[in-house]
Amino acid sequence: MLTRRDVLKHAMLFAASGIDTRERSTMTSLANAFMNRYAVPALSIAIAVNDEVVYADAFGMADRENGERATPSHLFRIASVSKPITSCAIFDLIEQGRLSLQSRVFGRGAVLGAEYGKLPYNRYLEDITIEHLLTHTVGTWGNDGSDPMFRHPGMNQNELIAATLDTRLPTTPPGRVFTYSNFGYCVLGRVIEIVTGTPYEEHVRRRILSRCGVSDMIIGANA
């Protein structure tokens, strides 16, 4: 995987890649039309062919108030694209034999044990496995108006998990219903921390991102 420095280096050379002025003008028009349609303040794009970046550019404003234009060197939020990164970290632990898809998450003998919430646990809660969290098949905690991740912005992760387990227990056996879940991946982040004894960001940077040549990705702050 290319680093941001690689992208910038190749961006300076993309004129030699065969992408002519007309094509670059068309790209700019498409980008501006997209930003206007969806009220997007800025976007960044890079195109690679055979592992070489042949086009890189950014459009719009990185900071409207200060008149700062977006460039390919600006960092952008990736939202749920963080989920595949979390998945990679989980599967890395599985490959090391430190975890399995069938590992239970909550309850006696489970990865997180009774770390969060009040006992006794609901029986469906104790049946949740790593695979259920990865595949969004816990059957609750969906990405809707009651999504736990957006209902308690003042809580930290540990407080949020405890409160959710106390008030939003599963009502159906896991594995039967697909429900896209942001909260489930928050729990997976804590699984990574418990298994490795390392903060999520530190572990992911060392075991996943650095091995791909990614050096400047960070956890996004609240805004």
Global pTM value: 0.83
Judgement on whether residues 179 and 85 belong to the same structural domain of the protein = yes
Judgement on whether residues 43 and 89 belong to the same structural domain of the protein = no
Distance of alpha carbon 135 from alpha carbon 79, whole angstroms: 17
Confirm whether 219 is domain-assigned.
no
Confirm whether 17 is domain-assigned.
yes
Confirm whether 220 is domain-assigned.
no
Judgement on whether residues 64 and 129 belong to the same structural domain of the protein = no
Confirm whether 223 is domain-assigned.
no
To 10 degrees, the CA torsion angle through 27, 80, 222, 220? Answer: -70
Residue span of the structural domain in which 29 resides: 4-76
Q: Tell me how far apart the 2 most distant CA atoms of the chain are, in Å.
A: 66
Q: Are 137 and 174 in contact (CB under 8 A)?
A: yes
Distance of alpha carbon 174 from alpha carbon 171, whole angstroms: 9
Judgement on whether residues 125 and 137 belong to the same structural domain of the protein = yes
Render each residue's pLDDT in the chain as its tens digit; 223 residues: 445 555 555 555 554 456 778 888 888 899 999 999 999 999 998 888 887 888 889 999 999 999 999 999 899 989 999 999 999 999 999 999 999 999 999 999 999 999 999 999 988 999 999 999 999 999 889 998 889 998 888 899 999 999 999 999 888 899 999 999 999 999 999 999 999 999 999 999 999 999 988 888 988 876 5
Total domains present in the chain = 2
